[in-house]
A = this chain, B = another copy of it.
Amino acid sequence: MYTMGLDFGSTASKGVVLKDGKEIVCTAIITSGTGTSGPERVKEKLLTESNLLESDMEAVVVTGYGRMTYQGAKKQISELSCHAKGVHFLVPDVGTVIDIGGQDIKALLLDKNGNLSNFVMNDKCAAGTGRFLDVMAGVLETEVSMLGEISMMSKSPVNISSTCTVFAESEVISHLSAGVNKEDIIAGIHISVAGRVAALAKRVGIKDKVVMVGGVAKNIGVVKAMEDALGKNIEVPKLAQLTGALGAALFAFEALNK
């Protein structure tokens, strides 16, 4: 029995095909989000790669920012519930989930069954989000995907005193023109992100095990800085970008079996 979970975000469309609610058959990520061809393309890609037909899917659940405009799903389920579900599937003993996306930060507290018991979110301020890193990568003329690796070479990270993206950008420009090494600047940027995100996560509560997901979880420098800020190990599941879609596919399976 196959189910499909789709997660249509603002910048990417993601999908998972699940067999019998426990085996991940296929995953797909298209880097264009809702309002583009991304949603259709991710579905096509899933079906092509899994060699299945749309009619093979017993249920489809959709989540993410673009879920309401999408026709053809059995259910729409909120991102937060889907993330919680998906992370719990990957890391059954998860307690706190930290999700740094392109434009927001979320921290979720899960009970031992993987149900959401509390959350905090910030989507009003770019500080600490992927957008913050994009801005800094622009100033540093460095690919955002390279930031993590470069920062690992730092021996003495700079101090960035402003939290605000705009003011921190000016500090980065000053450091650059003072001839500071890029790795030390980038490491300082990651510490700034971690400080911001850790403060938010502490508001929801830090409960072992701590898991990081979202696009920024791919940045090893931010993950390490978060571990320092929280004084805890953090697990980043391999499918960190796909937890929303995975949770949706799990909800689709549950819906069939109710």
Contact = CB atoms under 8 A, between A and B. Distances in A.
Contacts of A165: 126, 164-166
Contacts of A125: 125, 164
Nearest to A135: B166
Interface string A155-172: 000000011111100000
Contacts of A135: 166
Interface centre among A124, A125, A131 (most CB of B within 10 A): A125
Contacts of A162: 124
A204 to B, nearest CB: 22
Nearest to A132: B166
Name the interface size band of chain A.
Answer: 10 to 19
B124 A166 contact: no
A154 interface: no
Contact of A124 (B103, B126, B132, B164): B164
A63 to B, nearest CB: 22
A195 B161 CA distance: 27
Contacts of A131: 166-167
A126 B163 CA distance: 10
A135 to B, nearest CB: 7
Contacts of A166: 126, 131-132, 135, 165-166
Interface in A126-155: 126, 131-132, 135
Contacts of A164: 124-126, 165
A126 B125 CA distance: 11
A130 to B, nearest CB: 11
A13 B214 CA distance: 46
A27 B91 CA distance: 67
Interface of A: 103, 124-126, 131-132, 135, 162-167
The 5 A-B residue pairs with the shortest CB-CB distance, nearest first, are A126-B166, A165-B166, A125-B164, A126-B164, A131-B166
18 contacts: A103-B167, A124-B162, A124-B163, A124-B164, A125-B125, A125-B164, A126-B164, A126-B165, A126-B166, A126-B167, A131-B166, A131-B167, A132-B166, A135-B166, A164-B165, A165-B165, A165-B166, A166-B166
